[in-house]
Structure 1
Amino acid sequence: MVDQISTYANYQNSINNILAAQSSLAVQQQQISSGQIADTYLGLYNNNGAVDGYIALKENLQQITNYTNNNHNVLNRLNTMILSMDNVLAMAQGMQKDLTTRLSTAGDSIQLTNLIRNTYLPTIENSLNINLEGKYLFSGTATNIEPVVHLSTTSNVLNGTATSNYYQGNDTILNAQVTDTININYGVTADNQVFQDLIACANNLITADKKNDTKALSESMDTINKIVTDLTSLRSNMANNTVTINSANTSFQNQKLTITQIISEANDTDFPTAMIKASSNTNILMASFKLLNMMSQLTLVNYIDL
């Protein structure tokens, strides 16, 4: 009787071995075919208990993606503004050159007033009214409002002082959180003092040119020289912001590659190990099936004989 119970127990053990081996083999076959240890967080946890770290890495990766996407948008705005700044600077340098000619012996050959009204001021206005994807870049945070109006028809000089009467935006400088620890104010508004001074200088040159006021024209030379210097410095500050953002994005890219590799190693199948486990479970299955087959051949007589 004891032998009969033992034989039945062996039979049940064989069934259990087959089921366990089949389940384990299925897991190894899934890993080998998919290249991943598991297709769920629970599966990953059951495999190596790393689910918390895995989720943290995925969240970190998403944060990096969010930062780089935002930084990319900021860079697009900054680079567009820098191109506009180049145009404004070119107009200031043009006035500087033409004023030099106006003050020389060849002064009568240049139509300074016409150049300022028909070329320089319209180009400055168009440059400061640049928009990207429907948003005006020199309006501060009032990006739906065209910042500059009527430069060619209305002077911004009131009582001898430069004003921002041409400006319709607000005074808020655009801001960006570049990394967890780097926050920058970037860009510039069209009412910046250097723009006010440039536009006022242009209007003063028109007045002096019409009156042929050599003294006033000469005094404007010092003003335009300072404006060119200030515009160059302002452009450089904007360019420095692009360097900061690009450096942050490069760092993010390196972090992204590292984290992606860690995640890949955590979830990718160790093929040699998986193959060995699959082979072992196959052998167990074959042996169990063989034993089960032998036991299934036994009849009641065999059990009684035992």
Structure 2
Amino acid sequence: KTTAINSRTETQNSKTTLTKAECLAASKQESNPVLQKIRKLAYESQNLKSPYQNAKETLHAASQRVPVVIDFRIENIPGRSSISFVCHVIIEGIEVASEKGTNIKQAKTNACETAHRIILMPKIEIVESSTNVKSLKGSVLTQVPNPGNFTPVQNKNQFPGSTEGLTHTSKLPIGSVATYKESNMNSGLKRKLNQRKLLEEFIIVEHIDPLSGGGGAANILRKSADFSHMLLEFEYFPQGEATRCVVKLEEEVLADMVGDTRQLAKTAASAQCLQTLRNYVGF
């Protein structure tokens, strides 16, 4: 049976910014020396006695209290009628943010606003691109509320709308056997036999960094499930000449889609599952 969860938008338990105390605690727990400095910078930015007008001034003042180097790299972007600028904020050699502006001052201000927001995020990590550029990736954590406040629905029309080549499905025929399965158990998920966690324990991890857009719904689900230490499964069934993908979280079916290919079905089912969870938390 394909089920979803009714959304309730009045509650949003998303964690987007650490408090001053949390920044200090995070800096003490951080093993990477560069990330430790960035966490201390975030702490000092919230520990300033006098508030500053913008993030650029805030970061500058905070950097006077932490042995950290903040650099700016400016690029000119020629246009048809005018020139715009891109400012890259680099902390300890790590690119933290890049933003545009119609002039250098505005580009710096915009980039510093983004950089300040990222260093205050609950989860940060350093990633390296194929061109050996190191950047800081920040993550927003969203805690799913108690599912007892929601009721299952069985109306397939309440799922996100389908696109061309994709259809929603009814329940699987009795005796259907998946022809292919994927799960994060293969990536070293540690759990006891028959151990199941509640959906309220699932945390959506959204990555924000200057070099990528997040990697798609399937990638977000996988990272979130790994972070939450919860079982995520993709099961594939033949559906005529097409493929049907069922997504399960802790053995609960949250998405069920058909596509012309396995990848198309997985992409659609992942998007449906992620949208269901986002509706669930009103995020």
Same fold (TM over 0.5): no
Q: Structure 1 or 2: larger strand share?
A: 2
Determine which structure has greater relative contact order: mean sequence separation of CA pairs < 8 Å that are 6+ residues apart, divided by chain length: 1
Larger Rg: 1
Please give the TM-score of this superposition, normalised by the length of structure 1: 0.19
Q: Structure 1 or 2: larger helix share?
A: 1
Please give the TM-score of this superposition, normalised by the length of structure 2: 0.20
